[in-house]
Amino acid sequence: MIPKKSPGRQVLLQGNEAIVEGALAAGCRFFAGYPITPATEISEVMSYRLPAVDGTFIQMEDEIASLGAVIGASLAGVKAMTATSGPGFSLMQENLGFACVAEVPCVIVNVMRGGPSTGLPTHVSQGDVMQARWGTHGDHPIIVLAASTTQDCFSVTVRAFNLSEKYRTPVIILTDEVVAHTREKIYIPHQEEVEVVDRIRPNMPPDWYIPYEDNSRGVPPMSPFGEGYRCHVTGLIHDVRGFPTQRPDEIVAFMNRLFRKINQHFFDIQTVSEEHMDDAEIVVIAYGSVARSARRAVKDARLRGVKAGLVQLVTLWPFPRQIVEPLLRRVKAVLVPELNMGQMSREVKRVNQGATRVETLNRIDGSLITPGEILNRLMKM
Amino acid sequence: MAEITRLIHKYLRHDKKFPHVWCPGCGNGILLGSLIRGIDRTGLEKDDIVIVSGIGCSGRISVYVDFNTLHTTHGRALTFATGIKLANPRLHVIVIMGDGDATAIGGNHFIHAARRNLNLTAIVVNNSIYGMTGGQYSPTTPYGALATTALYGNIEHAFSIAELAVMAGAGMVARGTVYHASLLDDLIEKAIMKRGFSVVEVISHCHTQYGRRNLMGDAVEMMRRQKESAVKIEKVASMSEEELQGRFTIGILVDRDLPIYTHEYRKIREAARAAPSRIR
């Protein structure tokens, strides 16, 4: 809803453009990318928006380089982002792991298209849900958010930057070709209405600064290069001073903190949006463009007397178990429609542990799941 | 205080991360010395310098020096450096890579960084082999040489890192060796002060993984070869083709003033501020 006498503005945008607006509102001032459909508009709009606000845009030689430059910019103290689609996201996995282990805040947008490989450019898909979770090698926590509408693209991007800064972690935004290219009216709040979180910087003298020292939040303060703290940043497992270590006690302490800083803040990170859930007996769990079809299907099912509800996942990873699990215990059946062979439904089933009936509705032909398809299944459940 | 002691205390994390990982006789130690002597001569503040390194033996240099230091992923050092320089052009960013790091896995980043002419300094330590992983052939391993992945002799042809950088458009390209240490000090100092993308190819040796397998003797013997094979750029003109056969040139190969990326980008910002926004 748009507040009356709002100082914000209403604009006609597509999802990709709304992501740019969200990023700029969140304080993003650096973008590095490589052309790929259906994410290219994000680069294009960034290339003319960023220099106007003293930011920097650069088109790199590939997606590996794009994320490298983004990490470098963030280490120099500037909020940074890149955007790509499946093939480019695969190339980014190496440096994504670096950002996880060196705890460098940054945002990566993956506008999903059909895969594997060159796959189905530029048809819609949700095939990268598991890659976003596990794509880079080694154990690591990650935050992945999904946007479903053009309005979402704005707000989810702001949130992605805020979480990334707050927890010193890369945050991945998953959208898809339909979300990216749907053009609709959205409300962009005035800059003063946008909550912006910045990373915590060290307030002690440089000699006292221990760059990776644990604290109650599990997130150490971060100093940008060039401000006197002269620390070492590495992709190797490191001790509290940032230097490589092979000591088991230091490795365990580091890895545990890496996970703890996300795990102990589950409630802050996990977001879902619920509709008609008060008395719902049959629930659709959906995300991205499919959540939009599901919203309509749930409304239509209600008109036909079926007590349907919708849980739209905004946070995909860490999976919002604390919210989904109690819900599974109180409803009669759950439908998980998605544009893949069943990536998120697998997680729902894992959490469900057989408590309720979980059905899947999968489409992998490059077309959107329609409200009618979901409605048909709801009426049969 | 002796000069060397002063430099060690000022620039090395001497009380934190030593002893280093390199083999006795490794050229990386000489490069490290040249690096801090070169930096010391520039008079730059330690806080204003960022050392970015890749993966491999040379990549460890970043751990030992007391600057803002970044040890990146394999081959990607220049991409991280690009982000740092663009985000804060005030910083002096020096990138240290090996031959495999800079020209095999990072070859694409290397030529594009040179083409952009960002104001960065790239130091490429060329020891003709992948040392840390145990002696596999690299893009600079000579034809016919033996390596752990070329036990019957290398059938690939080496390319020249310095010439690659010249063709890709770097503002300054130099080549030195770890034998000619005082020349290397000069080259590194000039490269850091150069306004534009500067490359210093440092011919080094890996007696452990390359020399031993190819019967080239120990570190001292390999450095003697550097001395005998290197020809100063000033002398090249007076030498015949035959005399130059199998030898390489050292000194500043190219020094040219080209538009610098960050200066060009300033113009983009001005144009963007002047242009009517297409979105508001």
- CATH number for the domain spanning A184: value is 3.40.50.970
Domain C-terminal end among A160, A193, A226: A193
Which residue stretches of chain A have pLDDT < 70?
A: 1-6
Q: Report the residue count for chain B.
A: 280
Domain-located, residue B66: yes
Q: What confidence score (pLDDT) does residue B122 get? A: 98
Residues A174, A295: one domain? no
**Residue A35: domain span:** 9-193
Q: Do A72 and B66 touch (CB under 8 A)?
A: no
Count the neighbouring beta carbons within 10 Å of the beta carbon of residue B122: 28
B276 touches chain A (CB under 8 A): no
Q: Copy the structure tokens of residue B50.
A: 């960022």
pLDDT, block means (10 residues), chain B with 280 residues: 89 88 96 97 97 96 97 98 98 98 97 97 97 96 97 96 97 98 98 98 97 96 97 94 94 97 96 74
Q: Do B83 and A232 touch (CB under 8 A)?
A: no
Distance of alpha carbon B1 from alpha carbon A179, whole angstroms: 66
Q: Which residues of B touch A41 (CB under 8 A)?
A: none
Domain-located, residue A322: yes
Please check whether residue B213 is in contact with residue B135, taking contact to mean a CB–CB distance below 8 angstroms: yes
CATH number at residue B80: 3.40.50.970
Domain-located, residue A265: no
**Residue B269: domain span:** 3-274
Domain-located, residue A344: yes
Distance of alpha carbon A315 from alpha carbon A164, whole angstroms: 13
Domain C-terminal end among A193, A208, A234: A193
Residues A53, A148: one domain? yes
Residues A188, A284: one domain? no
* Number of domains within chain B: 1
Q: Do A73 and B73 touch (CB under 8 A)?
A: no
In chain A, at which residue ranges do the beta strands (DSSP E only) sit? 9-14, 30-33, 56-59, 80-84, 106-114, 120-124, 143-146, 170-176, 183-188, 232-234, 272-275, 282-286, 308-313, 315-317, 333-338, 357-362
Q: What confidence score (pLDDT) does residue B280 get? A: 45
DSSP 8-state assignment for residue A51: G
Q: Please report the ipTM that was assigned to this predicted complex.
A: 0.97
Q: Which residues of A touch B46 (CB under 8 A)?
A: 230
B268 touches chain A (CB under 8 A): yes
Residues A48, A170: one domain? yes
Q: Do A78 and B68 touch (CB under 8 A)?
A: no
Distance of alpha carbon A88 from alpha carbon A65, whole angstroms: 11
Domain C-terminal end among A135, A159, A193: A193
Q: What confidence score (pLDDT) does residue A2 get? A: 55
Nearest residue in B to A243, CA atom: B63
**Residue of A44, A81, A232 to mutate, testing the B interface (most B Cβ within 10 Å of its Cβ):** A232
Residues A166, A291: one domain? no
Domain-located, residue A168: yes
Q: Which of residues 84-103 of B touch A (CB under 8 A)?
A: 84-88, 90-91
Q: Do B17 and A52 touch (CB under 8 A)?
A: no
Using DSSP's 3-state secondary structure scheme, residue B254 falls into strand
* Number of domains within chain A: 2
Q: Do B86 and A61 touch (CB under 8 A)?
A: no
Domain-located, residue B69: yes
Residues A174, A310: one domain? no
CATH number at residue A365: 3.40.50.920
Q: Do B87 and A11 touch (CB under 8 A)?
A: no
Residues A178, A279: one domain? no
